[in-house]
Amino acid sequence: MKKLLTAYPEILVEKYLGSITGVREFTVAMIGNGSDILIMPAGITLKIPKKVRIITTHDKDEHNTQAAPVSDLALRERIIRFAEMAFEVAGVHDYARCDLLLAEGFSNLSVPTEIEKMLSADVIEKLETNR
């Protein structure tokens, strides 16, 4: 840690979830804006059991994952509410995606384990023009 702190002004340390049982992954797609927004959460599962539950690019490329609608309506609503806040804070519109990990024992999605978002084309364009 000391070596990292001398090399970088700030570091982020998180609990490793790869070996914890009961970790569930969700992806949430957002299309549209304002009252014409569509938010679609799906659970992501591995088709092939692995010793350490990490979904890799290889798993995705080899079609070793499966997406399914979130059937638990209460969980689905919590995921949607969280994703709406994440999209709003990130300032994205038109299209975005938010990936979430939910670990057993963590019942509150207000503090997610991981958030990954894909920027909308408009945000990418703004970044390109501000280089």
- Total residue length of the chain: 131
The band of 105, judged by pLDDT with boundaries at 50, 70 and 90, is: low
R_g of the chain computed on alpha carbons: 17
Burial category of 48 from C-beta neighbours within 10 Å (exposed 0-12, middle 13-18, buried 19 and up): exposed
Query: What pLDDT is stored for residue 128 in this prediction?
Result: 54
Query: What pLDDT is stored for residue 108 in this prediction?
Result: 46
Q: What is the pLDDT of residues 9-50, one digit of tens each?
A: 888 777 766 666 777 889 999 999 888 999 999 999 889 888
Average pLDDT, the chain: 78
Question: In 10 A of CB 44, how many CB atoms?
Answer: 18
**Structural domains in the chain plus CATH codes:** 16-129 (3.30.470.20)
Question: In 10 A of CB 102, how many CB atoms?
Answer: 23
Of 106 and 97, which is predicted with more confidence?
Answer: 97
Average pLDDT over residues 49-68: 84
